[in-house]
Amino acid sequence: MRTAALLSTIVLALAAALAAQMATVVPQIPFRQFTLPNGLRVILSEDHAVPVVTESLLFNVGGRDEHPGSSGFAHLFEHLMFEGSAHAPKGVFDQKVEGYGGTDNASTHTDYTFYFETAPSNALPILMWLDADRMAYLNVTPENMKNQIAVVEEERRLRVDNQPYGPLLYVALGERAFSNWQNAHPVIGSFADLDRATLAEVKAFFDAYYAPRNAILTIAGDLDLDRTEALVRKYFGWIPNRGAITPVSTAEPPRTRETDVTIRDPHANLPALAIAWQGPPRKSPDFYALALLGQDLFAGESSRLYQSLVKTRQVAIEVEGGLGFPEADFTDYRAPGLFGGFVIYKPNVDPRLVEQLVFREIHEIVANGMPPDELLRVKTKLASDWIRGEQTTLDRAQLLALGELLDGSPAGESEDLRQILNVTSEQIQRAAAAYLTHPRATVLQDEPGAAPAPAAPAKGGARP
């Protein structure tokens, strides 16, 4: 007995020492930062490991910045930005990038839209010219707008409406968990708003949000800092600002009563349960604590809920979630966001049992905290994944840009990791007790099958 106790003490001491060491050794991606007179923020990161460079443009506009009646505009521009510009007509952008053996793509998020090109480093001047031309002279024409609205609507059908659990995760959960339309409506947009959009409205959106003052240009990889800065000033410094941004309010009233909703899903073969809570402000102690707790509860087969629901109780087949879920990850989380979880479970299982098992793990954390060995394991896995995610020029460009956007400095990404690695079990207990409660929860049950047909009108008619 004394030997077992001694070994346990040694293990805990070693775990504490390793955790302390890990929390102090957080790599920082090197960068140079400056702002052009037109307001364009620029981040350069030099790394000559391979002769490759990534150029990215992050625009500070996402689904949350849209106004009622214009849902889907942010996503629409993810497509329109590849439809050609004054000096690079449609098709030229991809031809030039691919001609150098490069790739390009874009993505729309709740709080930003991200564009990038990765190519051999000798293609950098061409990448700058292409990006500058579409920022200054994008072709927003009636034909382009009509074509890309059709593409966006088809994407919604394929990725959301006709996907199992798509309407649950990407439409219904946000609509039920938030009260403010700015936070509640889906990033993918609505058919009604896209179909009624006018060319003048779409152009006004571009003028307001795609101006230099609202963008972050990041270039990472095999570059010379001085030469690249000179090229940036040449290609981007002349672009004028235009339009005006109309700020939106994202304030949310506090939740004081659990919301329970059941929806029907004609594309699902198995039932599912989604649970979400409005999360804490970014960079608060509770933010870092719940980021770590999300990993512990949901991330991978070693997570608490996978072990409990899938392995031990054998009531579920899939578990996922965390801070920012389902629209984001904590790395690109901007409050108000959600701490959410999603469980696909077996058809003979009572959904109330699934909900109880989820809350049982949360209550266990609130009561007893996270054991030191478990806390160390979660931190080690998170740090490993984080650092592995800095290995490519694209990863580094996006992390630096997000640090600037969300934390006010490209160094914010490494500071976030440092803060997460310093989280204690007591902090996790307090955050879970404050945020992950029954009254603050939104619980959605997804049942396979089509919604019941509306009742037929009563026969006999009404009196005239």
Give me the domains of the chain, ranges plus CATH numbers.
Answer: 32-236 (3.30.830.10), 259-448 (3.30.830.10)
Q: Taking the chain, what is the end-to-end CA distance rounded to the nearest angstrom? A: 90
Q: What are phi and psi of 274, to 5 degrees?
A: -120, 135
Question: What DSSP state is assigned to residue 311?
Answer: I
pLDDT of residue 14 exceeding 50: no
pLDDT on residue 456:
52
pLDDT of residue 371 exceeding 70: yes
pLDDT on residue 248:
95
Nearest of 276, 64, 265, 299 to residue 166 by alpha carbon: 265
pLDDT on residue 254:
87
Contacts of 338 (CB under 8 A, 6+ apart): 173, 174, 177, 276, 277, 278, 279, 324, 325, 326, 327
pLDDT of residue 407 exceeding 70: yes
- The CA distance from 295 to 139, in Å, is 43
pTM of the model: 0.91
pLDDT on residue 7:
39
> Could you tell me how many residues make up the chain?
464
Mean of the per-residue pLDDT values for the chain? 92
Q: What are phi and psi of 338, to 5 degrees?
A: -115, 150
- The CA distance from 263 to 254, in Å, is 24
pLDDT of residue 1 exceeding 50: no
* Number of neighbouring beta carbons within 10 Å of residue 203: 16
221: left (phi over 0), alpha (psi -120 to 50) or beta: left
pLDDT on residue 13:
46
Q: What confidence tens digit (pLDDT) does each residue in 275-299 have?
A: 999 999 999 999 999 999 999 999 9
- The CA distance from 278 to 442, in Å, is 9
Q: What confidence tens digit (pLDDT) does each residue in 83-117 have?
A: 999 999 999 999 999 999 999 999 999 999 999 99
Classify residue 359 as exposed, middle or buried by CB count within 10 Å of its CB (0-12, 13-18, 19+): middle
Two tokens at 382? 């998170």
Q: What confidence tens digit (pLDDT) does each residue in 145-161 have?
A: 999 999 999 999 999 99
